[in-house]
């Protein structure tokens, strides 16, 4: 019975009761009836309240059901959105796969076979003899390599050659034969030359030279090296004076203008440095730009000789006058007589000013000099002498900028490839009158640039015997446009063998990713490599030698590789490009579907450094699931125990291939090893506990694609001047509007820098990283700033990280900072301070831009 019916019944009963009690005659029976009615009513009332309770219960139940249905509807809607996003992702990925397939089938570039190796023919095939006057027209014509030597440079040179990638001990395989001409034969009568393919000592007289086993009648394919050494006061002059050396290339420090064959013979630096290794300890600091003395000179004048055409007396007089009339602020240190006087050796008849004092005493003056004067030999027929080269060497080492008077006619080492105009001031002797004015006119920034470039050339090409010999061979190779040997990647030991890898589980990441399509999920696509073997040295030969300082190795790619023009991208050279909106552009949706930009499509490798923290690592891998453009994850396992040994045998699925490499020892430097597993140019270095969202990673990747020679990443830091001690820089992680480092706990770097970390960075820096178990990220920032001369790029508003492993206590924090201050100070001592500051960061183009409702931004949140 419904509530309404009940109500009606009750009202009916009440009416009956009232009508009955209205009749007084029947009151007794009525009374009885009344009681009956009362009872009825009470019963009815009870049943009504039961009814109501039940109704209430039913209502509550219905409400619950409604709520549940609502929740289900919500979850279905979310599911729908997810499915739609997934569908979109799949669609984008399918489109990507379709394009890749089309490109693969269209690729019609024929497989290239390497050219046949040209070897010098054996037994020597006599060319028609050449007469000495036509020796001037020789050209080199065949590829490399040499043999080893005897004499006092023997060990050093053999060692240097051993490290050279082009060296062979098999004479039949060699294209060029190196012959070291011992210095002894200059001062003594028994001229010695040592050939080496066979180890017998020959005495250099022309006939001896001609009996070298591979001489071939005219010395073609031979380089005769005469390395001048310490005995410079004796003077390592021209080792080949009066000899006919046929078609052999001569490499030495002393040449006359009639003897030097431009583009053929090679001016080398004297072998003054150590055999190889780090040389930074010998160097003077780059700053300050201006030193105590504006100009210095120390030397003792050669005795007047018949050959001397230059009247250097005039120079001395003029310089002395300059000094006496110069303002007090310009200090000169000019010494035209040595104290104690040096021996006047006969060889100085070529007009070289003798060196005064000791290495140390000269070094002290040079380190105090902004400029140092070098005088070309007064015998004008000499374009280079060992003594002059020795002075140049010392000057560059000490950071004194060389000013060469008579510079219009001298030859400097390897000047075919090295741009000495950025290092040395060259003036004809006649222009000495301008000297003082010129030196004063150069601003600090340029002084520093000269000094820095001098140090770069000195370190890479002159400093040690190794550097010098490598440069000599690289120069010959450059002439022939033969690419250097490829850099060898580090073969990592996989943590798991092929037959075993831990079962993977799909763990849902703790932080749900925002529902945003960030790009296609593609099959792994390694960056194409070694495309510029033969064009690199032609288009970038200058930069290779003078800016990047690495003509010795061939790398699969460089950060400076050229993009194709945007026009060509649509006309003829479209392979690999994924223009936004197929070229029409667009925001949100179109943007997320394609990489766009000036570079072809590519992917990145994540390199995670971890130390026996499998739970943390598993979480990190899980967070990478579904990350677009991810090529591979390389886990650098720094632990003693094998991965999988300590804890869970299930690892999270990262959605991309995961390689675990075991390291030989626990070192933070390992994170920058150029492992052969890494197949992309872009490398994202992350700490295992760095939490980065997918949109942040994809955005940083896109930014890196436009800043390939810089570090692009999240946590910004800077070097701050130490106001308390006024003596160097401190590491600082405070919030700041200027930064100079981006930590490699979360940053993209070019794969080239992984090689450079081991080849260009002084070993002392890496040693310190190992020693303190800290600062590898600072070292990488120093390196990249040193090579690129650019600050890092900071992306998005992230300044720092939730960092479970970081020191929490104040004292641990203090130790940490103290260590990092020390690193900055030590690294600056070793390398100078290359860090540069920046005041901007990268956010996506439409970030915070008001746009119409029907448009989407590039990213939802960044």
Ligand X SMILES: *[C@@H]1O[C@H](CO)[C@@H](O)[C@H](O)[C@H]1NC(C)=O
How many chain residues touch ligand X (CB under 6 A)? 18
Which residues are CB-neighbours of 843 under 8 A, at least 6 positions away?
Answer: 795, 796, 797, 862
Task: Say if CB 239 and CB 384 are below 8 A apart.
Answer: no
Closest to ligand X by CB, 37 or 554: 554
Question: Shortest distance, CB of residue 222 to ligand X, whole angstroms?
Answer: 17
Closest to ligand X by CB, 469 or 482: 482
Task: Say if CB 669 and CB 769 are below 8 A apart.
Answer: yes
Closest to ligand X by CB, 204 or 396: 204
Question: Shortest distance, CB of residue 498 to ligand X, whole angstroms?
Answer: 7
**Is 328 one of the binding residues for ligand X (CB under 6 A)?**
no
Task: Choose one: 10-18, 201-209, 406-414, 702-710; the region binding ligand X (CB under 6 A).
Answer: 201-209
Q: What is the DSSP letter of 283?
A: P
Check whether the bond before 407 is cis (ω within 30° of 0).
no
Closest to ligand X by CB, 53 or 818: 818
3-state secondary structure of 635: strand
Question: Shortest distance, CB of residue 213 to ligand X, whole angstroms?
Answer: 13
Question: Shortest distance, CB of residue 501 to ligand X, whole angstroms?
Answer: 9
The alpha carbon of residue 844 and the mean position of all alpha carbons in its chain are separated, in whole angstroms, by: 25
Single out the residue of 258, 433, 734, 809 in contact with ligand X (rule: CB under 6 A): 734
- Enclosing H/E stretch for 636: strand 630-637
Question: Cβ of 539: how many Cβ atoms within 10 Å?
Answer: 12
| Cα distances (angstroms) measured from residue 624 to each of 508, 521, 691, 703, 859 | 11, 12, 10, 19, 18
Single out the residue of 140, 732, 740, 828 in contact with ligand X (rule: CB under 6 A): 732
Single out the residue of 207, 325, 649, 811 in contact with ligand X (rule: CB under 6 A): 207
Closest to ligand X by CB, 406 or 502: 502
Dist. CA 75–CA 288, nearest whole Å: 67
**Is 112 one of the binding residues for ligand X (CB under 6 A)?**
yes
Considering the candidates 777, 813, 843, 854, report the single residue annotated as catalytic.
777
Dist. CA 682–CA 524, nearest whole Å: 13
Buried b (16+ CB within 10 A) or exposed e, 113-148: eeeeeeebeeebeeeeebeeeebeebebebbbbbbb
**Is 208 one of the binding residues for ligand X (CB under 6 A)?**
yes
Dist. CA 150–CA 146, nearest whole Å: 13
Task: Choose one: 203-211, 234-242, 447-455, 506-514; the region binding ligand X (CB under 6 A).
Answer: 203-211
Task: Choose one: 80-88, 204-212, 572-580, 822-830; the region binding ligand X (CB under 6 A).
Answer: 204-212
The alpha carbon of residue 753 and the mean position of all alpha carbons in its chain are separated, in whole angstroms, by: 2
Closest to ligand X by CB, 485 or 789: 485
Which residues are CB-neighbours of 584 under 8 A, at least 6 positions away?
Answer: 590
Closest to ligand X by CB, 117 or 497: 497
The alpha carbon of residue 316 and the mean position of all alpha carbons in its chain are separated, in whole angstroms, by: 48
User: Can you give the three-state secondary structure of 225-242, one letter per residue?
Assistant: EECCCCCCCCCCCCCCCC
Closest to ligand X by CB, 105 or 499: 499
Task: Choose one: 44-52, 137-145, 200-208, 291-299; the region binding ligand X (CB under 6 A).
Answer: 200-208
Question: Shortest distance, CB of residue 676 to ligand X, whole angstroms?
Answer: 13
Asked if 777 is an active-site residue, the reply is yes
Contact string (CB under 6 A) for ligand X, positions 159-198, x = contact: ----------------------------------------
Residues 815-844 that bind ligand X (CB under 6 A): 817
Question: Shortest distance, CB of residue 492 to ligand X, whole angstroms?
Answer: 16
Question: Shortest distance, CB of residue 110 to ligand X, whole angstroms?
Answer: 11
User: Is 680 exposed, middle or buried (CB count within 10 Å of its CB: 0-12, 13-18, 19+)?
Assistant: buried
Closest to ligand X by CB, 32 or 203: 203
Closest to ligand X by CB, 358 or 497: 497
Single out the residue of 205, 493, 797, 849 in contact with ligand X (rule: CB under 6 A): 205
Question: Shortest distance, CB of residue 297 to ligand X, whole angstroms?
Answer: 42
Dist. CA 673–CA 560, nearest whole Å: 21
Dist. CA 32–CA 352, nearest whole Å: 151
Dist. CA 808–CA 814, nearest whole Å: 10
User: Is 193 exposed, middle or buried (CB count within 10 Å of its CB: 0-12, 13-18, 19+)?
Assistant: buried
Output the CA torsion sign for 545, 550, 555, 561: negative
Q: And the tokens for 390?
A: 């020795």
Closest to ligand X by CB, 324 or 497: 497
**Is 530 one of the binding residues for ligand X (CB under 6 A)?**
yes
Beta bridge partners of 224: 179, 250
Nearest to 21 by CA among 6, 36, 41: 36
Output the CA torsion sign for 353, 356, 359, 360: negative
Single out the residue of 533, 587, 666, 825 in contact with ligand X (rule: CB under 6 A): 533
Residues 541-570 that bind ligand X (CB under 6 A): 554
Task: Say if CB 431 and CB 401 are below 8 A apart.
Answer: no
**Is 109 one of the binding residues for ligand X (CB under 6 A)?**
no
Question: Shortest distance, CB of residue 662 to ligand X, whole angstroms?
Answer: 12
Dist. CA 732–CA 740, nearest whole Å: 10
Question: Shortest distance, CB of residue 556 to ligand X, whole angstroms?
Answer: 8
Output the CA torsion sign for 566, 572, 577, 583: positive
Dist. CA 392–CA 412, nearest whole Å: 9
Question: Shortest distance, CB of residue 586 to ligand X, whole angstroms?
Answer: 37
Question: Shortest distance, CB of residue 342 to ligand X, whole angstroms?
Answer: 32
| Cα distances (angstroms) measured from residue 735 to each of 689, 732, 776, 795, 800 | 21, 9, 22, 15, 9
**Is 117 one of the binding residues for ligand X (CB under 6 A)?**
no
Beta bridge partners of 793: 712
Closest to ligand X by CB, 32 or 530: 530
Question: Shortest distance, CB of residue 114 to ligand X, whole angstroms?
Answer: 6
- Enclosing H/E stretch for 61: helix 27-106
Closest to ligand X by CB, 202 or 634: 202
Contact string (CB under 6 A) for ligand X, positions 476-515, x = contact: ----------x----------x-xx---------------
* Catalytic site positions: 777
In the complex, the residues that contact ligand X under the rule CB under 6 A are 112, 114, 202-203, 205, 207-208, 211, 486, 497, 499-500, 530, 533, 554, 732, 734, 817
């Amino acid at each position: 019975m419904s509530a309404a019916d009940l109500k009606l019944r009750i009202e009916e009963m009440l009416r009956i009761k009232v009508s009955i009690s209205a009749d007084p005659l029947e009151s007794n029976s009525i009374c009885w009836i009344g009681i009956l009615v009362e009872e009825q009513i009470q019963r009815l009332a009870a049943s009504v309240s039961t009814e109501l309770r039940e109704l209430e219960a039913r209502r509550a139940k219905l409400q619950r059901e409604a709520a549940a249905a609502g929740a289900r509807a919500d979850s279905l809607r979310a599911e729908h959105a997810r499915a739609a996003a997934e569908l979109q992702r799949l669609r984008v990925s399918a489109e990507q796969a379709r394009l890749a397939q089309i490109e693969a089938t269209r690729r019609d570039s024929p497989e290239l076979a390497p050219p046949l190796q040209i070897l010098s023919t054996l037994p020597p095939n006599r060319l028609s003899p050449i007469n000495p006057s036509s020796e001037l027209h020789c050209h080199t014509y065949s590829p490399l390599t040499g043999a080893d030597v005897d004499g006092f440079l023997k060990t050093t040179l053999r060692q240097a050659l051993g490290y050279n990638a082009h060296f062979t001990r098999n004479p039949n395989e060699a294209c060029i034969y190196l012959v070291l001409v011992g210095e002894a034969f200059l001062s003594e009568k028994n001229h010695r030359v040592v050939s080496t393919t066979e180890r017998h000592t020959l005495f250099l007289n022309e006939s001896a030279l001609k009996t070298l086993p591979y001489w071939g009648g005219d010395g073609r394919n031979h380089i005769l090296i005469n390395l001048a050494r310490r005995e410079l006061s004796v003077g390592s002059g021209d080792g080949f004076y009066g000899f006919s050396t046929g078609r052999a290339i001569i490499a030495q420090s002393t040449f006359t203008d009639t003897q030097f064959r431009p583009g053929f013979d090679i001016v080398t630096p004297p072998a003054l440095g150590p055999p190889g290794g780090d040389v930074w300890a010998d160097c003077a600091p780059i700053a300050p730009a201006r030193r105590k003395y504006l100009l210095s000179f120390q030397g003792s004048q050669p005795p007047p000789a018949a050959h001397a055409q230059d009247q250097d007396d005039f120079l001395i007089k003029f310089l002395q006058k300059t000094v006496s009339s110069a303002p007090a602020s310009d200090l000169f240190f000019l010494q035209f007589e040595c104290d104690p006087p040096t021996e006047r050796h006969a060889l100085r008849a070529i007009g070289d000013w003798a060196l005064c004092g000791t290495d140390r005493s000269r070094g002290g003056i040079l380190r105090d000099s902004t400029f140092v004067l070098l005088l070309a030999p007064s015998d004008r027929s000499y374009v280079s002498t060992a003594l002059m080269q020795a002075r140049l060497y010392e000057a560059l080492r000490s950071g004194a900028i060389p000013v060469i008077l008579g510079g219009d006619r001298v030859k400097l080492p390897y000047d075919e490839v090295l741009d000495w105009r950025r290092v040395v001031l060259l003036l004809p002797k006649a222009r000495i009158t301008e000297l003082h004015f010129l030196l004063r006119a150069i601003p600090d920034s340029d002084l520093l640039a000269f000094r820095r470039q001098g140090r770069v050339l000195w370190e890479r090409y002159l400093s040690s015997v190794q550097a010098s010999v490598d440069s000599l061979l690289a120069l010959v190779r450059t002439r022939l446009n033969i690419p250097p040997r490829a850099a060898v990647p580090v073969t990592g030991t996989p943590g798991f063998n092929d037959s075993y890898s831990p079962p993977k589980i799909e763990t849902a990441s703790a932080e749900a990713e925002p529902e945003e399509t960030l790009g296609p999920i593609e099959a792994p696509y390694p960056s194409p490599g070694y495309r510029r073997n033969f064009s690199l040295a032609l288009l970038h030969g200058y930069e290779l030698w003078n800016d990047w300082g690495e003509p010795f190795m061939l790398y699969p790619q460089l950060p400076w590789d050229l993009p194709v023009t945007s026009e060509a991208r649509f006309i003829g050279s479209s392979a690999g490009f994924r223009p936004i909106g197929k070229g029409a552009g667009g925001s949100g949706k179109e943007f997320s579907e394609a990489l766009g930009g000036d570079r072809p499509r590519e992917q990145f490798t994540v390199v995670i450094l971890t130390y026996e923290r499998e739970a943390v690592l598993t979480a990190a891998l899980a967070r990478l699931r579904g990350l677009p453009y991810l090529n591979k994850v390389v886990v650098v396992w720094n632990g003693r125990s094998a991965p999988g040994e300590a804890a869970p045998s299930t690892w999270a699925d990262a959605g991309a291939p995961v390689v675990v490499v075991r390291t030989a020892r626990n070192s933070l430097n390992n994170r920058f090893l150029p492992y052969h597993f890494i197949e992309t140019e872009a490398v994202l270095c992350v700490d295992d506990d760095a939490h980065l969202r997918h949109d942040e990673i994809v955005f940083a990747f896109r930014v890196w694609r436009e800043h390939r020679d810089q570090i692009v990443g999240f946590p910004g830091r800077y070097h701050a001047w130490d106001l308390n001690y006024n003596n160097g820089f401190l590491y600082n992680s405070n919030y700041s509007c200027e930064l100079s480092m981006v930590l490699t706990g979360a940053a993209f770097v070019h794969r080239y820098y992984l090689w450079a970390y081991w080849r260009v960075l002084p070993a002392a820096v890496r040693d310190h990283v190992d020693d303190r178990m800290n600062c590898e990220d600072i070292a990488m920032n120093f390196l990249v700033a040193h090579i690129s001369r650019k600050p890092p790029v900071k992306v998005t508003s992230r300044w720092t990280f939730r960092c479970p492993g970081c020191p929490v206590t104040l004292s641990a924090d203090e130790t940490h900072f103290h260590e990092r201050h020390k690193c900055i100070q030590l690294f600056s001592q070793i390398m100078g301070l290359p860090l540069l500051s920046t005041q901007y960061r990268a956010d996506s183009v439409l970030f915070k831009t008001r746009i119409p409702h029907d448009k989407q931004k590039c990213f939802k949140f960044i």
